[in-house]
Amino acid sequence: MLVRQVAILGSTGSIGVNTLDVIRAHPNRFKVLALTAATQIERLAAQCLEFNPRIAVVADAQGATQLSQLLQAQQSSTQVLYGSQALITAVTESGCDTVMAAIVGAAGLMPTLAAAKAGKRVLLANKEALVMSGNLFMQAMKEGGGELLPIDSEHNAIFQCLPDRFTQSPSDHFGVEELWLTASGGPFRDLPVSSLSDITPEQACAHPNWVMGRKISVDSATMMNKGLEVIEAFWLFGLPLDKIKVLIHPQSVVHSMVRYRDGSVLAQMGQPDMRTPIAYGLAWPERIDAGVSQLNLTQLASLSFLEPNFSQFPCLNLAFSAASIGGTAPAILNAANEIAVAAFLDSGLPYLKIPQVVERTLDAVAPIQADSLETILQVDGLARDTARHFVQRFIR
């Protein structure tokens, strides 16, 4: 059996921990070669002692010293590095063949791109990286010659419902007419917008069906998450934007669907547990036990589906409009959203101002062609500065 050599970018997060959980159950199939985290040093140290990677990466020198001390006390041979360049080293020099891209936000872009260029199997959870750099990233995957497996549950579902040949020939759509991304609608699905002005970070992060990191939990509440996912699907599957639809499905059992020309609609169902798409990506094309409990359809009261109400979720509208403008507009959208969500979580930006920060930033920063990494990073920086300026106005 081929033993996959895995690097996990963002191993202390929700996706990272779930990935290690699947790997732990299959010691003969997977070996961990690199683990990275920003700040949770003790958790990372425990992971290093359990999985014994060659390389561990943290954000700064202070964290590296702390991690080294914790590891040396246990005679660990893991090499400790720090900084953003070291994230790339973890991908290119650990000897891995598979990279779980599970850093949240734009911080994951460079190492994920490095994995694409180096021809690794890329397990893509970090949707922000693809939203920012869509065309460049897909080009890098093609040139690197590796495999791209979507981990986001909706895209993983669609991947599973598409014919095998589809991914090798995205210009010929094999009778695929539409992709239907399902969305739970988040914790505020049934509340009028007028009642959301005093929403706290804790309320926004209390997702009804999924346990996730804080940023994506807020994105799910505003439905910016689904907007980012529409852009993600556009790049992953190469269908025109008007063929990508969003359906509210409160139970999160159908993870997404593909509608074919002949009237067939294929859906992938399962428990809302990220270990299913993670195990799928790790073992593809084989199927392994993911540690997920069985889906019992007779115990479900019902499965329902409804159209999203765009006036209730302005972020969804903003994402569709950035996607149709193209160029650097999705990168501007993403940068503004990252700043707004961080300000909501940590600095008292009111919940309902999140879409306003994004909208004003999109109006203020002119989109241009996203033809190089330098351009994208420059626009990302400008959009962040602009969004910070609007945040300041709204906080005061």
Q: Which residue in this structure is represented by tokens 């997702």? A: 207
Q: Binding pattern to ligand NAD, positions 126-145, x when CB under 6 A? A: xxx-----------------
Bridge-based pairing of strands 254-260 and 176-183 is antiparallel
Size of residue set near ligand NAD by CB under 6 A: 27
- Min. distance of Cβ 82 from ligand NAD in angstroms? 10
Which residue's CB is nearer to ligand NAD, number 38 or number 364? 38
Which residue's CB is nearer to ligand NAD, number 208 or number 213? 213
Q: Answer for the pair 340, 388: CB distance below 8 angstroms, yes or no.
A: no
Which residue's CB is nearer to ligand NAD, number 126 or number 184? 126
Which residue's CB is nearer to Mg ion, number 53 or number 277? 277
| β-sheet with 148-150: strand ranges across | 79-82, 55-58, 30-36, 4-9, 98-101, 121-124, 148-150
| Alpha-carbon span 255 to 84, nearest angstrom | 33
Please give the C-alpha separations between residue 7 and each of 3, 10, 330, in angstroms, as whole numbers: 13, 10, 28
Which of 70, 91, 148, 152 touches ligand NAD (CB under 6 A)? 152
Kindly report the backbone phi and psi dihedral angles of residue 118, in degrees, each rounded to the nearest multiple of 5, phi listed first.
-85, 5
Q: Answer for the pair 367, 327: CB distance below 8 angstroms, yes or no.
A: yes
Which of 45, 81, 100, 274 touches ligand NAD (CB under 6 A)? 274
End-to-end Cα spacing for the chain: 60
Q: Looking at residues 328 to 367 of the shown chain, list those that interact with ligand NAD (rule: CB under 6 A).
A: none
Which residue's CB is nearer to Mg ion, number 153 or number 328? 153
Binder of residue 67, out of Mg ion, ligand NAD, none (CB less than 5 to 8 A by kind): none
Q: Looking at residues 238 to 267 of the shown chain, list those that interact with ligand NAD (rule: CB under 6 A).
A: none
| Alpha-carbon span 188 to 351, nearest angstrom | 12
C-beta nearest to ligand NAD: residue: 13
Which residue's CB is nearer to ligand NAD, number 39 or number 372? 39
Which of 56, 90, 103, 322 touches ligand NAD (CB under 6 A)? 103
Bridge-based pairing of strands 121-124 and 55-58 is unpaired
| Alpha-carbon span 77 to 178, nearest angstrom | 50
Binder of residue 358, out of Mg ion, ligand NAD, none (CB less than 5 to 8 A by kind): none
| Alpha-carbon span 95 to 318, nearest angstrom | 41
C-beta nearest to Mg ion: residue: 152
Residue type, 205: C
Which residues of this protein are in contact with ligand NAD, per CB under 6 A? 10-16, 37-40, 59, 102-104, 107, 125-128, 152, 210, 212-213, 215-216, 274
